[in-house]
Amino acid sequence: MVVGWVAAAVLAATALGATIAPTEKQLLEKSSCGRVWVTIHSPAIKLVGGGEILDAIELNWDFTDCHDAPGQIGLFDHQPGTWNDALVFYPIESPQGRIVTKTSLGASTLPAGWNTGAGARGPHCLWPWVGAGHSRGGAEIKAYNCLKIQPTWMEDNAAKINKLRIGHLVLPGAHNAGAWSFDTEISSVTRDNFVLCQDRSIWAQLVHGIRYLDFRIGYYEFYTDKDERYWLNHNLIRVRPLVPLLKEIRAFLDATNEVVFLDAHHFPVGFYEQDGSPIRSVHAGLLELVKRELGPHLAHAQQLSTGPGTRGPTLQSLINANKRLLFSYVDHAVVTDNRWLWPILPHLWANTNSPTLLFEYLDDAIPSSPQPHALSPLFSAMAQTTPTVLDILLLRGSLRANAEAVNKIVTNRLNNQWRRHANIISTDFFLGNDVIDLSIALSSERGARL
């Protein structure tokens, strides 16, 4: 794959389906103790004799504190009723764990009318369901869940979370959100070892429930059309034009009452002189595009911010103002000149290819964030490992393999060590973890304490 090799070289140089919509009364998740959930395996599974399985379905469970834990777990294509309905089942041999099935998610059409536009409110199931219970004949399925979209989770939980300040929310985030497939003159590759960090579009990310989008924006003077000069990058690699993705965000905001947090995290190409000073015209052009495409929804910091060292406005205040897009900007000088921008959002980045070192860092950094006089009320835990130069040059591993090693731990950490202090959790290949559902549950839990 030419793009893969070129991308690897440049990154190294820069050091780095069917769907089921629930009825109104249908329960999507049930458990008297513990929990089960569905995730998607990020790397391809190589088959003996050739071939591979993409997007294999994973069945996850945690019955650590249960006295009468289930002994069997299975994959279903509808809400589990009896074991006769299971497509496949496996014994449960530990209090918590995961099974990677040999069944692919397949074409993932979004349910309930959300595939291309506004659909029905509330959570809805894609086809995979997981169920767990005892294996003896006729035994009840004690726990079940499905792979969901959560397009309106803030509105659905408004009574529980709207009094929370934004810095007290738990927000599911997509690291390098724009790097989900190439859309350039030379490639439309949808899988790449060291460039692509997601495998769902911006629209699909938002519909699934992602509320924080981490953008890396490049500028390319050689395009005649000014709109075409701004791209989402992964470091020096162009991935997708920016303007169509801003339109997807606008369409989602128009269709819902959700609040979205957009972060201009990095400007790897075209925004700075060689001495590091900002090219004001390039920054100004980006801000004009954002205002043009997202203007009616932009929450102006000078009007809604509560000042340094605070946890920001309440969710309710943003909804009352009908200003539901917060745009954070990594350049302090540009923010100073454009007071509607939200200030630099701290990114807790371990800069390591070791999962052990990543979690040691985040276990320490999350409880101590934000700093007392932080300009931003938000902070993002960058819950992914970073390949070394040698990893990239030698094509050692992949971002998908790295995500596979990290995502299953992220779910457990958020449910335990990070439960009280986490704000934004940004991951690669977010369907490989359960951060969205946990963020909703933990935000509701925090709201209940007010």
pLDDT tens track, the chain, 450 positions: 444 444 444 444 443 433 444 444 458 999 989 999 999 999 999 999 889 999 999 999 999 999 999 999 999 999 999 999 999 999 999 999 999 999 999 987 999 999 989 999 999 999 999 999 998 666 789 999 999 999 999 999 999 999 999 999 999 999 999 999 999 998 999 999 999 999 999 999 999 999 999 999 999 999 999 999 999 999 999 999 999 999 999 999 999 999 999 999 999 999 999 999 999 999 999 999 999 999 999 999 999 999 999 999 999 999 999 999 999 999 999 999 999 999 999 999 999 999 999 999 999 999 999 999 999 999 999 999 999 999 999 989 999 999 999 999 999 999 999 999 999 999 999 999 999 999 999 999 999 999
Q: Beta-carbon neighbour count of residue 258 at 10 Å?
A: 20
Q: Are strands 30-31 and 141-149 parallel, antiparallel or unpaired?
A: antiparallel
Amino acid symbol at 85: D
Alpha-carbon span 261 to 135, nearest angstrom: 45
Element (H, E) at 20: strand 19-20
Asked if 405 contacts 385 with a C-beta cutoff of 8 angstroms, the reply is yes
Asked if 395 contacts 9 with a C-beta cutoff of 8 angstroms, the reply is no
The whole-number pLDDT of residue 358 equals 98
Residues 6+ apart with CB under 8 A from 99: 58, 59, 73, 90
Pick left, alpha or beta for residue 15 (phi over 0 → left; psi -120 to 50 → alpha; otherwise beta).
left
Alpha-carbon span 323 to 298, nearest angstrom: 5
Instruction: Return the C-alpha torsion angle 328, 332, 338, 339, nearest 10.
Output: 70
The whole-number pLDDT of residue 26 equals 58
Amino acid symbol at 98: R
The whole-number pLDDT of residue 400 equals 97
pTM (predicted TM-score): 0.95
The whole-number pLDDT of residue 8 equals 45
The whole-number pLDDT of residue 137 equals 65
Alpha-carbon span 329 to 308, nearest angstrom: 15
Q: Where do the structural domains in the chain lie, given as residue ranges?
A: 19-149, 153-448
What end-to-end distance do the CA atoms of the chain give, in Å?
53
Residues 6+ apart with CB under 8 A from 244: none
* Structure-token pair, residue 442: 């933990």
Alpha-carbon span 80 to 75, nearest angstrom: 9
The whole-number pLDDT of residue 7 equals 46
Query: Please, what sign has the CA dihedral across residues 422, 425, 431, 433?
Result: negative
The fold of 153-448 is TIM Barrel (3.20.20)
